[in-house]
Structure 1
């Protein structure tokens, strides 16, 4: 029997399907623009900032693929993806209330861990949700609208401290205290993520397993007859991690590298254990799917890896770079530093605003030159932005590289997922998008464990050199797109 065609969504349907991302990205923008500021306000030095971001990515390596695997298989009265992004939104709301009131670095790092993990629990099922609810030829439009909501939420999230300060709420505070304008912004974020996700959860009805099967999407459990693959490389990962740990110990390298080495050992142990016991649980499916990634996904994974190294450098180090080189401030309690930190919020809002506008232009460009070439051009614009951030010393001119970052960001949020959903089996959207997030999380982990040591060793008083590193890795990501060949769309 020939499968029926999944119906195209109306504009209202696409709107409701993606609206939750407005709140998720508002919260994500608050995190990106203000967490380094909070850590510095609580006494962290610049070269320790990256390490304090580390709990989130470590958790993400575990949470994201598991959530993807389980959401592919969840069918109940509340739907398939909805239970996960609602739970993630509620937990993120709690973290947003706690983070600016933590009072000390350790507590702030714990709340950042909860926030980062919760945002990923909410975000990744949303990516698969768009694939579930749209036919293949409408997914570019669906991801474009999602990108618009991401940009709009990020603009408000990035500008919130500036807006509250303009309303008379102070943006300075004594040492060890987060400014009131930042605290009020996080309260706004808690309300926004819960309300926006609730809107999507209550306004969209997910397709049932029977409906998806009629559309040609294989339902949960369709992979039951597919044999699991047990990779034999676990011992190699263990050996590589152990060698790194021994090298760090023998040469007295930066202790943060122990985290990276330990992660390699842990990944190898999971593979070796699954293979030894011929497991059939969630971890076995994740390891098997990782080994059987489509070729285009492997090519795109390399691009993502280097892209997100650059992005995490941007988010972690823009505040210390701008406050030091443009506002000439190092005292985190002073007016100059906080004015610079507020301006970083404006810069981030500006690039997200550009991304929101570019989101609707990129599908038109992609129809002319292809998704892969469109993404490459946008990533090269991002590389140019990092070079400009390295040399510009004028406050207003900093918006020029932010416009280029916005173009790259619009493509990063949409094009990889348009390409992926063309080649992935529909019944595995969740797990593969979760696995794809490895190549977002691992770069964050690398930046967190390596960049602090790089700064201390090579440019302890010049954080602007991190922007040169960002330019190099973003350019490499753009060139790696030349290897990618798009496949035919999956129905």
Structure 2
């Protein structure tokens, strides 16, 4: 059978439109959750640990949903059932989040909201791999990035627009969330559901039989076959090492009274070790047809290109997480000179940070139009290097700019980098994955998005307290340096990984 037929512009538009709603949910979270936490009493160095819900739910949910969606086929298709369920749950969570009366309830609602968004989002990446031939995948991921940009522009700017255009209050009594933030979350919840419904009912999917036939016609250098089982004793021995390191780290942190956020790292080491030990028992028992075993098997046998891209993703997403959790604090304290969350200056700064987030997403939407042409001319690897370097320079320049209005300029570079992060690594990866494991590998690839965020949540607060006197602006500088490193790490990816 010949390769997958090319889809029209409007077919790609329809299959990616749901990302408009998904990103409205994420953008509201990214621009406002730190503000909500601070309003409910969180200190600056507590914000990273409260944010741990976002990466941790992705780490758990995405590979599970990827594994399940690879094995799903019903009247709605393969990926679309998960779009729908996730959208319903996320919309409900968005309505409840800004009404959290206490800090612990807001933190718990973030877990629910982020898990629900991940249920919808994970299959969208695999959806592009399922539906488009290799030559159109860069365009497909760029279209997703366009909708991500548009959705984030609207969502990030909503509190500011409601205050400045409709006179909705952006301040409230101590411990209360401003009305402008509440209404923004309500609007975002409705938009999330409607956008995903458009994709669910305006697209179709190839059946598993059709996808297998398309796989048979792929170029041999882009065919990744299943590999033999890893020896059970390797899982067991490796697991014991990781578990001992985790337990020793946990004991050392407790005995020395070190920063409590370091427990995240120790717990992660221990959990990874425990999972390997469990997998060794499953393999010895012949119980290899289950999600736990298959995710671990595929993690240890992932394609070479995915391993190379993991380095790029680590530094990229560490940088982004630093911007998301410290953007509000940096702008309000460094550029608006405010720390009192009930003051007009603080809330004006927080609203302006929303505008900056909207701006970088707007620039990302424009960059998404140009990136397929750039990648076609320079290749995905060199394009990603250039784009990430521009983003890193943008984040570092926050330190040198005093006028808040001028912060729109570095957001051009950040927006270009964001568009690139959301498209080019996926274009490089999807061309090297088998269709019957597209979902699970996209879920595993998400490990290298969430692990750096967990590391950042563990150490950023400690770094700022110990070395930078809790000045949030240095969180952005650290992020900028790491984003430039990520750009150069792209050159480590095999040239043969470029889409044909």
**TM-score normalised according to structure 2 size:** 0.94
Partner in structure 1 of residue 166 of structure 2: 167
Partner in structure 2 of residue 464 of structure 1: 473
Partner in structure 2 of residue 140 of structure 1: 138
Partner in structure 2 of residue 239 of structure 1: 244
Instruction: Name the CA distance, whole Å, in 2 between partners of 1:168 and 1:95.
Output: 26
Instruction: Name the CA distance, whole Å, in 2 between partners of 1:226 and 1:121.
Output: 28
Partner in structure 1 of residue 370 of structure 2: 361
Partner in structure 2 of residue 25 of structure 1: 23
User: What count of residue pairs does the alignment treat as equivalent?
Assistant: 486
CA shift at 1:227, angstroms? 4.0
Over residues 41-95 of structure 1, what are the superposed CA-to-partner deviations in whole Å (9 max), with x where a residue is unaligned? 1111111111111123222222111111111111112211011121111111111
Instruction: Name the CA distance, whole Å, in 1 between partners of 2:490 and 2:245.
Output: 28
**Greater displacement, 197-206 / 469-478:** 469-478
Partner in structure 1 of residue 105 of structure 2: 107
Over residues 289-332 of structure 1, what are the superposed CA-to-partner deviations in whole Å (9 max), with x where a residue is unaligned? 00111111101001101110100000000101110111111110
Q: Which runs of 5+ in 1 are unaligned?
A: none
* Alignment check: 8 A CA contact 1:419 1:486 kept: no
Q: Which runs of 5+ in 2 are unaligned?
A: 218-223
Partner in structure 2 of residue 249 of structure 1: 254
| Structure 1 residues 68 and 217: CA distance shift in structure 2, 3 A | farther
Out of 415, 426, 449, the position equivalent to 2:435 is 426
Aligned to 1:487, what secondary structure does the other structure show?
helix
**TM-score normalised according to structure 1 size:** 0.96
Instruction: Name the CA distance, whole Å, in 1 between partners of 2:150 and 2:393.
Output: 24
* Alignment check: 8 A CA contact 1:95 1:111 kept: yes
Partner in structure 2 of residue 186 of structure 1: 185
* Alignment check: 8 A CA contact 1:331 1:337 kept: yes
Out of 451, 465, 468, the position equivalent to 2:460 is 451
Out of 324, 327, 333, the position equivalent to 2:336 is 327
Instruction: Name the CA distance, whole Å, in 1 between partners of 2:415 and 2:449.
Output: 18
Instruction: Name the CA distance, whole Å, in 2 between partners of 1:215 and 1:61.
Output: 30
| Structure 1 residues 224 and 425: CA distance shift in structure 2, 3 A | closer
Partner in structure 2 of residue 272 of structure 1: 277
Out of 262, 266, 270, the position equivalent to 2:267 is 262
CA shift at 1:458, angstroms? 2.2
* Alignment check: 8 A CA contact 2:170 2:181 kept: yes
Report whether the alignment pairs 1:375 with 2:375: no
CA shift at 1:224, angstroms? 12
Over residues 365-388 of structure 1, what are the superposed CA-to-partner deviations in whole Å (9 max), with x where a residue is unaligned? 111111011101111111101210
Instruction: Name the CA distance, whole Å, in 2 between partners of 1:175 and 1:440.
Output: 35
Residues 52-131 of structure 1: matches in 2 within 5 Å? 52-131=50-129
CA shift at 1:229, angstroms? 2.8
Partner in structure 2 of residue 311 of structure 1: 320
* Alignment check: 8 A CA contact 1:4 1:216 kept: no
Instruction: Name the CA distance, whole Å, in 1 between partners of 2:258 and 2:64.
Output: 33
* Alignment check: 8 A CA contact 1:228 1:284 kept: no
| Structure 1 residues 226 and 459: CA distance shift in structure 2, 3 A | closer
Aligned to 2:431, what secondary structure does the other structure show?
helix
| Structure 1 residues 136 and 178: CA distance shift in structure 2, 3 A | same
CA shift at 1:490, angstroms? 8.0
Out of 338, 344, 347, the position equivalent to 1:338 is 347
Out of 394, 401, 404, the position equivalent to 2:413 is 404
Report whether the alignment pairs 1:208 with 2:207: yes
